[in-house]
């Protein structure tokens, strides 16, 4: 007959031997909470303690306490709010662009109940979800029509499919047959569309005459052009490219993947540099212009397709359009973000991505000093470089202040403690220092970041 598990003795003794470990159901009974989760937490805690004992460790702290911690983690959300202290503005691992307050409010309204997602309120007839953003996109860019899908990769695939139906060969510069990210490669996108890809030019130089020869070289099928902005890397030195205006004058449909979604003139941000705008490509006469919604545009995950009405209609009518359609919450956030662009000054101020790109030295320094003074424990203000991130503006360096933590403490250990704290703070290690970059920390996040940093550093100093 086995010995009954004594939870109090277990906490005091720390389960010093493997034979003292309780049965899973005994430990779960001490936890409360949903039975299934309690059993899962108990099993994790016992397995963790067994591995520690087998490795010769002598863990401190009670088994029940650890099981309760694990139960709390299992019972909480997996997708959590984190504080981005990396200085990377459009951080793909952290959800890319944070939404403007107006967009967050729009999501909350759409989530509260039913909505007129596909209902025309005036007539009572079935409507189109595209109606909520199409006129806005056309107004802001000059496009004849627009269609929105669930992400930028989907927008490019759908655009290629629409063109391939009539133009089964798509001409691409060899230097633009790139991998966009996550294994998403231009040659494979074109193959999925059913078209044949014809590469022209060289890796570093492409001329208008290269495209012209490709268009004139055969009569077996009609040919279109795909132009891809190399948004996540840059080629410098002995390079040459062809502007979208020149390509559109060749008289065949042009798909222009502009990448990051610079959507309106008048923003006036020097940091945007030569990033291609949707409006320019539309004005040049591109058949279809595609981009992401959650990069420099500063909205939710979405893929935008704009351009000539007939080609947008071909994309919208393709069978893939339904599989790639945008959901109501992303649509609400996108509409609210686009409405901000009607007033460029307001967009620059209220869309977080634009505000972070535009952040002034004095504001960043004041925030850095608040962090340093609140954290204490040897924190210091240093200089660093932030990044746009998200596969945009790869050469842009955003100089500014940051807060270095920990002194002689191991920066990897500090980063781990911050990452597993509450709230999680995601920091950056640079030249052996753990840095908190105030560019990507909002004013409302300063105090939570201070508390998390103090707890992380103090815990390592014990």
Kindly state whether residues 138 and 254 are assigned to the same domain. Answer: yes
Of residues 406 and 98, more confidently modeled: 98
pLDDT in tens, 109-130: 999 999 999 999 999 999 999 9
Kindly state whether residues 251 and 178 are assigned to the same domain. Answer: yes
Instruction: Evaluate if residue 16 carries a pLDDT over 60.
Output: no
Q: How many domains does the chain have?
A: 3
Kindly state whether residues 278 and 380 are assigned to the same domain. Answer: no
Kindly state whether residues 108 and 13 are assigned to the same domain. Answer: no
pLDDT in tens, 256-312: 999 888 986 667 777 787 788 999 999 999 999 999 999 999 999 999 999 999 999
Of residues 210 and 59, more confidently modeled: 210
Q: What is the mean pLDDT of residues 83-107?
A: 97
Closest by Cα among 400, 370, 395, 396 to 382? 400
Q: What is the mean pLDDT of the chain?
A: 91
Instruction: Evaluate if residue 429 carries a pLDDT over 70.
Output: yes
Candidate from 137-151, 233-247, 299-313 with smallest mean pLDDT: 233-247
Q: What is the DSSP letter of 343?
A: S
Kindly state whether residues 170 and 233 are assigned to the same domain. Answer: yes
Does some domain include residue 3?
Answer: no
Kindly state whether residues 377 and 324 are assigned to the same domain. Answer: no
Residue 323 exposed, middle or buried by CB count within 10 Å (0-12, 13-18, 19+):
exposed
Instruction: Evaluate if residue 70 carries a pLDDT over 80.
Output: yes
Kindly state whether residues 359 and 344 are assigned to the same domain. Answer: no
Kindly state whether residues 296 and 417 are assigned to the same domain. Answer: no
| pLDDT-above-70 percentage for the chain | 94
Pairing of strands 425-426, 83-84: parallel
pTM summary value: 0.89
Q: What is the mean pLDDT of residues 241-269?
A: 89
Structural domain range at position 299: 101-350
For 128-222, where are the E strands, in sequence order?
Answer: 145-149, 169-173, 179-181, 184-185, 196-200
Query: Which of 350, 380, 408 corresponds to the end of one domain?
Result: 350
Q: What is the mean pLDDT of residues 131-153?
A: 97
Query: Which of 350, 368, 391 corresponds to the end of one domain?
Result: 350
Can you give the pLDDT at residue 101? 98
Instruction: Evaluate if residue 176 carries a pLDDT over 80.
Output: yes
């Amino acid at each position: 007959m086995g010995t009954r598990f004594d939870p109090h003795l277990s906490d005091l003794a720390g389960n010093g031997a493997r034979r003292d470990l309780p049965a899973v159901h005994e430990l779960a009974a001490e936890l409360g909470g949903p039975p299934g989760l309690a059993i899962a937490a108990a099993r994790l805690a016992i397995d963790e303690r067994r591995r520690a004992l087998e490795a010769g460790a002598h863990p401190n702290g009670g088994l029940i306490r650890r099981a309760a911690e694990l139960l709390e983690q299992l019972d909480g959300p997996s997708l959590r709010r984190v504080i981005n202290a990396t200085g990377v503005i459009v951080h793909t691992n952290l959800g890319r662009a944070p939404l403007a307050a107006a967009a967050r409010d729009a999501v909350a309204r759409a989530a509260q109940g039913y909505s007129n997602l596909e209902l025309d309120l005036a007539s009572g007839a079935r409507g189109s979800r595209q109606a909520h953003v199409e006129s806005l996109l056309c107004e802001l860019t000059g496009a004849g029509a627009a269609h929105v899908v669930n992400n930028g990769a989907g927008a490019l695939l759908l655009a290629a499919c629409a063109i391939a139906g009539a133009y089964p060969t798509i001409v691409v510069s060899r230097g633009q047959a790139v991998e966009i990210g996550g294994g998403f490669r231009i040659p494979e996108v074109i193959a999925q569309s059913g078209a044949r890809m014809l590469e022209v030019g060289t890796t570093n130089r492409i001329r208008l005459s290269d495209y012209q020869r490709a268009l004139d070289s055969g009569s077996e099928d009609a040919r279109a052009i795909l132009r891809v902005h190399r948004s996540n890397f840059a080629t410098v030195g002995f390079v040459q490219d062809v502007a979208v205006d020149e390509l559109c004058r060749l008289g065949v449909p042009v798909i222009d993947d502009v990448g990051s979604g610079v959507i309106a003139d008048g923003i006036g941000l020097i940091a945007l540099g030569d990033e291609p705008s949707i409006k320019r490509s539309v004005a040049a006469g591109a058949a279809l212009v595609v981009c992401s919604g959650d990069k420099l545009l500063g909205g939710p995950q979405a893929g935008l397709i704009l351009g000539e009405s007939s080609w947008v209609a071909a994309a919208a009518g393709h069978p893939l359009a339904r599989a790639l359609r945008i959901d109501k919450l992303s649509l609400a956030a996108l509409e609210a973000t686009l409405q901000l662009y009607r007033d460029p000054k307001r967009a620059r101020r209220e869309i977080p991505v634009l505000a972070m790109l535009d952040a002034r030295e004095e504001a960043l320094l004041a925030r850095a000093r608040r962090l340093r003074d609140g954290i204490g424990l040897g924190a210091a203000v240093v200089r660093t470089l932030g990044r746009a991130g998200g596969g945009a503006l790869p050469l842009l360096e955003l100089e500014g202040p940051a807060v270095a933590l920990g002194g002689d403490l191991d920066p990897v250990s500090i980063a781990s403690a911050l990452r597993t704290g509450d709230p999680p703070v995601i920091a950056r290690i640079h030249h052996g220092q753990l840095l908190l970059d105030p560019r990507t920390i909002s004013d409302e996040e300063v105090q939570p970041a201070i508390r998390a940093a103090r707890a992380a550093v103090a815990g390592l100093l014990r």
